[in-house]
Structure 1
Amino acid sequence: MFSIPLRQLFCSAFVLFSLIATIVYVTNIDNVKLISLKSETSDDFALDERNKKLRNELNQIINNLIKGIPIENDPVVRKND
């Protein structure tokens, strides 16, 4: 009759349990990431739009400084005061 040593049986069971636990853990992480990606709100969109606007204004200020227009005369800076 075929017999498996008790230590080998427990080690195999532990490895199998660890593998299953790892798969479940990774799957749950993927689900959480997917849910968080789906739950982007309009606040995130508004922040993105605001960031784009601020980036464009900063680029305009930098370009004006390169051209030699002082910041005091910059219309972008004036309208924000």
Structure 2
Amino acid sequence: MASKQIYQSNQKDDTIYYHVNKIVIFIEKQNKLLSAKKLESFLKYNDEMIVHDISESTRYRNLNHFVLLAKILQKDWVK
């Protein structure tokens, strides 16, 4: 029974690191794709979510939405 509990906690830890790795890879891709102003806003938004202790899965989803909206709207977020 104890080994099953240890396995479950390790599985949960792997999930947490999985989201962190997805965020890091996603940010690296955006360095190449976004303009300088959009990238600056994107990184500030990410920093704000970190400060407000937003979960990694929610951060990833929100960053993804940020990029999708930036592509659709074709405008700077500052405006």
Tell me the TM-score normalized by structure 2: 0.42
Higher Rg: 1
